[in-house]
C-alpha cells in the first residue's frame, strides 16, 4: 500500500431484476472506462482505493480493495432484494480498510459510498448502521436512482444530507466520468494532502456539476 493519503470508495451496484438487461451492460461498460482512466491517471491510481459490491438475490464483493490496479468486471443479474445485505457488505469493506490504514499509519480522507439502485426495501438495522457511519465516521454517501419506479423518499433516507440523483437515461458513461472528475478534485485538494498528485487546489473543493447525467425528481439540487 502506497504511503500517500488515501480516498476509499465503494461502488454499491444494483444487479437485481430491478436492473434492466440493457442497464447492466451499460454499467459494465461505464466501469470498464472508469478503470481504464484510473490506470492512466497517476494521481488517482496512487490516491484512490476502489471496491465494488453488487446485490440481488445475495450480496457479492466482485472487486475487493487491493494494492494492485483495479480491473474491469462483469455485473450479473441475480434475483430480487439484497440491498440491506449489500449495504452491510459495503460497510464491512470500509471498516476493514480503515483498520488497515490505521495499522499502517496511513492518512485517509472521508470514505465514499456510491450507491446505484432501482430502489428496494432495506432492513431497519442496515439503515441504522448507515446512519452511524454517516454521523460518526463521516462517510460521504452518493445515491443514484434509475427507472420509473424508484421510490425517491426511500432513496433520500439513504443519502443523508445529499439529495439523491436520478440517472438520465443513457448517461451511465457520463456518471462514471463525473465520479472520476470528483475524485480528482478531492485528491488534488490542499485539505486532502494530494502528495501523489504533485499539486494542490482549493482547501475547500467543490465537486463538478452532475447536470450532464443527473436530474432531481424532487425540488432542489444536491449539496
Integer Cα distance of 37 and 181 in angstroms: 10
* pLDDT bracket for residue 22 (50, 70, 90): confident
Integer Cα distance of 198 and 64 in angstroms: 27
Predicted TM-score (pTM) of this structure: 0.89
Query: 177 pLDDT exceeds 90?
Result: yes
Query: 10 pLDDT exceeds 90?
Result: yes
Integer Cα distance of 13 and 15 in angstroms: 6
| CB proximity list for 169: less than 8 A, separation 6 or greater | none
- Whether 7 and 112 have beta carbons less than 8 Å apart is answered as yes
Greatest mean pLDDT range, 54-63, 64-73, 150-159, 194-203:
54-63
- Whether 144 and 164 have beta carbons less than 8 Å apart is answered as yes
Greatest mean pLDDT range, 129-138, 139-148, 173-182:
173-182
Domain ranges of the chain: 7-215
Worst-scoring range by mean pLDDT, 44-53, 78-87, 214-223?
Answer: 214-223
pLDDT one-digit tens code per residue, 90-128: 999 999 999 999 999 999 999 999 999 886 667 677 888
Query: 202 pLDDT exceeds 50?
Result: yes
Three cell numbers written together for 151: 421510490
Residue 103 class from Cβ within 10 Å (0-12 exposed, 13-18 middle, 19+ buried)?
A: exposed
In this predicted structure, what is the pLDDT of residue 179?
Answer: 97
Q: How far is CA 100 from CA 3, 44, 76, 106, 191, in A?
A: 12, 19, 30, 8, 22
Instruction: State mean pLDDT over 188-201.
Output: 62
Pick the more confident residue, 196 or 140.
140
Worst-scoring range by mean pLDDT, 19-23, 73-77, 193-197?
Answer: 193-197
Integer Cα distance of 3 and 110 in angstroms: 17
In this predicted structure, what is the pLDDT of residue 72?
Answer: 78
Look up residue 60 and give its DSSP letter. Answer: E
- The CATH class that applies to domain 7-215 reads alpha beta
Instruction: State mean pLDDT over 18-47.
Output: 87
Amino acid at each position: 500500500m502506497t504511503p500517500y493519503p488515501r480516498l476509499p470508495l465503494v461502488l454499491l451496484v444494483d444487479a437485481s431484476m430491478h436492473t434492466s438487461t440493457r442497464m447492466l451492460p451499460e454499467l459494465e461498460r461505464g466501469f470498464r472506462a472508469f478503470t481504464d482512466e484510473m490506470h492512466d491517471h497517476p494521481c488517482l491510481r496512487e490516491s484512490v482505493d476502489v471496491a465494488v459490491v453488487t446485490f440481488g438475490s445475495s450480496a457479492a464483493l466482485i472487486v475487493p480493495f487491493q494494492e494492485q490496479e483495479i480491473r474491469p468486471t462483469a455485473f450479473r443479474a441475480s434475483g430480487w432484494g439484497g440491498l440491506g445485505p449489500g449495504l452491510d457488505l459495503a460497510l464491512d469493506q470500509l471498516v476493514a480498510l480503515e483498520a488497515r490504514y490505521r495499522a499502517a499509519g496511513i492518512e485517509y480522507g472521508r470514505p465514499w459510498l456510491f450507491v446505484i439502485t432501482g430502489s428496494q426495501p432495506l432492513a431497519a438495522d442496515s439503515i441504522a448502521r448507515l446512519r452511524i457511519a454517516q454521523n460518526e465516521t463521516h462517510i460521504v454517501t452518493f445515491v443514484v436512482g434509475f427507472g420509473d419506479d424508484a421510490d425517491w423518499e426511500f432513496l433520500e433516507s439513504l443519502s443523508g444530507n445529499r439529495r439523491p440523483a436520478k440517472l438520465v437515461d443513457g448517461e451511465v458513461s457520463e456518471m462514471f466520468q463525473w465520479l472520476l472528475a470528483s475524485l480528482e478534485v478531492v485528491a488534488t485538494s490542499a485539505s486532502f494532502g494530494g502528495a501523489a498528485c504533485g499539486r494542490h487546489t482549493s482547501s475547500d473543493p467543490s465537486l463538478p456539476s452532475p447536470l450532464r447525467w443527473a436530474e432531481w425528481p424532487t425540488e432542489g439540487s444536491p449539496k
